[in-house]
């Protein structure tokens, strides 16, 4: 669960591995009096299917997308030599409407719609931005940003890419690496890809 306590989004993500179902809640907290978890919103995703949520529906993300598939996961970065093969979710301070596959608006006013796809450019001023870091694990994240991109999922801090809650992450490695990238290093790939 991200952001413990009573502040923040307090997302709780649970995967039923036997039935391939993802449960995501927001505003989640333990009620000691009733001895149970409680949340102010939730969504259920069938991991065997790829259907988009109905138009107008949100989830625990403003865009109506599942959170888990877009997280940078520690085991993908450090636990395998294989490349990371998915886009990452990110947030910006303000958004303007939504495009497919997002299904919901967050009326905060901004440049990009929820569901917008960005990609780290292959070359910036003649150089590969993925090579700015000497850390091969951070480079793996950057290469995934070049191949699979980012998808705008919610409002929050500008260009904030979310990872799983894991005590093994080392912010003394992550923060300097991510600070090597600028917003101008990314390009908009498509607005509304796959739209019916």
- % of the chain beyond a pLDDT of 90: 53
pLDDT for the residue 36: 93
pLDDT (tens digit per residue) in 173-196: 999 999 999 999 999 987 766 655
Strand runs (DSSP E) across the chain, as ranges?
12-16, 21-26, 29-31, 36-38, 41-46, 88-92, 95-98, 112-114, 117-120, 150-155, 160-161, 186-190
Q: Where does the pLDDT of residue 2 fall: very low under 50, low under 70, confident under 90, or very high at 90 and above?
A: very low
Over residues 41-68, mean pLDDT: 87
Give the C-alpha separation, 104 to 80, whole Å: 35
Q: Where does the pLDDT of residue 17 fall: very low under 50, low under 70, confident under 90, or very high at 90 and above?
A: very high
Over residues 7-20, mean pLDDT: 87
142 CB-near residues (< 8 Å, 6+ apart): 120, 129, 130, 132, 133, 177, 181
């Amino acid at each position: 669960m991200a952001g413990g306590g009573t502040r923040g989004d307090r997302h709780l993500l649970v995967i039923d591995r036997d039935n391939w179902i993802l449960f995501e809640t927001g505003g989640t907290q333990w009620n000691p009096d009733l001895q149970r978890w409680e949340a102010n919103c939730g969504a259920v995703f069938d991991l065997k299917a790829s259907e988009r949520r109905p138009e107008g529906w949100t989830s625990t993300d403003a865009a109506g997308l599942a959170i888990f598939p877009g997280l940078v996961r520690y085991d993908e970065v450090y636990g395998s030599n294989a490349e990371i093969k998915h886009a990452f979710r990110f947030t910006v301070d303000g958004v303007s409407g939504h495009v497919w596959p997002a299904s919901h608006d967050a009326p905060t006013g901004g440049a990009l719609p929820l569901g917008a796809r960005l990609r780290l450019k292959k070359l910036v001023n003649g150089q590969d931005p993925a090579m700015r870091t000497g850390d091969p694990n951070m480079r793996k994240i950057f290469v995934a940003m070049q191949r699979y991109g980012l998808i705008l999922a919610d409002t929050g801090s500008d260009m904030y890419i979310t990872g799983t809650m894991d005590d093994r992450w080392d912010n003394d490695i992550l923060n300097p690496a991510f600070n090597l990238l600028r917003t101008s290093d990314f390009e908009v790939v498509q607005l509304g890809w796959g739209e019916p």
